[in-house]
Amino acid sequence: MRTVVVDGSPLTVDDVVAVALGHASAIPGDDLDSRMAPARALVQQVVDNDEVVYGITTGFGALASTRIPPERATDLQYDLIRSHAAGVGDLMSPEIVRAMLLCRARTLAQGHSGVRPVVVRTLLALLAHNILPAVPAQGSVGASGDLAPFAHLALPLIGEGFVLGEMGRLPSLPALEAAGIDPLRLEAKEGLSLLNGTEGMLAQGCL
Catalytic residues: 54
- Which candidate, 133, 135, 106, 94, places its Cα nearest to that of 202? 106
E strands in the chain? 3-6, 25-28, 88-91, 136-138, 162-165, 168-171
User: What DSSP assignment string belongs to 95-122?
Assistant: HHHHHHHHHHHHHHHTS-S---HHHHHH
Largest CA distance in the chain: 50
